[in-house]
Amino acid sequence: MIPRDADADADPGRDADRDADRDADHGGAPRGRAIPLRRPPRLARVEGPFVPERADLDEVDERWARFRAHNPAAYDGPLLQVLGVHRDGHGGATVHVVETSYRFHAVQSDRPGVAGLERGIDLGVRPLGAKAVVRERGPTGEGAAGPVLFGRRSVRTGGYHHLWEVAPGGVVEPGESPADTVRRELEEETGLVLAASPGGGSVPRAILLVEDPVMRCWELVHALEVPAGSRDRTRPSPEHDDLGWFDPADPPRPLSPITERILELVRTT
């Protein structure tokens, strides 16, 4: 998979409010900035924790309590906040990150139908997420000629409900690498485990860093191959109410805006 060229150098705080008037169905979603990668990005970690300057902590706590009442499984764990992104040259990038709390991100999202959370509040928190474009190898094991794994987001997720996306994906936790996040989320969201033995699955390879202005985050996208027959071992999780393997040229609909963007930027072989 080779990402197509895209515009990129980025400050995650710039244009932070440009998505405030987006359509409820994301039909007018803004396009995020993107950096194609030929090597893994460098994570430059800043001492934390990070507390948003614009946050009213009482309001955050109240909104978090409402969010937890709606989704009791939500966990206020640590995540990595993106402070800045820039190219390194030679196909790389540096991402400056600091530890913060998940609740600061969760309360930012619109929650239609949830009293008191219909409209989010932008605290300037932009977590680093990791996703994978997972392809099943052909029956002979020669290349990743098979279909791509997609999941339909459930109402238990932070947004894009009932829209399809490339799966898996999740926030990068402090102490783990983005590739480790992909491995963990692959098992949690699909039931697939990357075996260490030959033929058990490839190593996640970073190919694209892209901003998602709707969900207010950055996604580090990886390419990943899994063995032939993997489609028969996948099972949905609370994050997705359905999983399916599709030709990326003819994906399931409707897609989330960030997935549209990823498929546009990534050329599969």
The Cα 218–Cα 209 span in angstroms is: 7
The Cα 267–Cα 269 span in angstroms is: 7
Residue 141 near residue 50, CB atoms below 8 Å: no
The residues of the chain scoring below 50 in pLDDT are 1-26, 144, 197, 268-269
Q: Give me the pLDDT at residue 202, please.
A: 78
Query: How far is C-alpha 138 from the geometric centre of its chain's CA atoms?
Result: 26
Q: Give me the pLDDT at residue 5, please.
A: 39
Q: Give me the pLDDT at residue 16, please.
A: 36
Q: Give me the pLDDT at residue 20, please.
A: 32
**Beta strand pairing status for 164-166 and 148-153?**
antiparallel
Burial of 191 (0-12, 13-18, 19+ CB in 10 A): middle
Residue 186 near residue 192, CB atoms below 8 Å: yes
Q: Give the predicted TM-score (pTM) of the model.
A: 0.86
The Cα 169–Cα 178 span in angstroms is: 10
Order of strands across the sheet that contains 42-46 = 42-46, 92-101, 78-89
SS3 257: helix
Eight-class DSSP state of 233: G
Q: What are the two backbone dihedrals, phi and then psi, of residue 140, each rounded to the nearest 5 degrees?
A: -90, -5
Q: Give me the pLDDT at residue 192, please.
A: 95
What is the tens place of the pLDDT at every residue in 82-107?
999 999 888 999 999 999 999 999 99
Q: Where are the chain's structural domains?
A: 2-267
2-267: which CATH topology?
Nucleoside Triphosphate Pyrophosphohydrolase (3.90.79)
List 105's β-bridge partners, or say none: none
The Cα 132–Cα 183 span in angstroms is: 9
SS3 204: coil
Exposure b/e, 53-79, CB count within 10 A at least 16 = b:
eebeeeebeebbebbeebbeebeeeeb
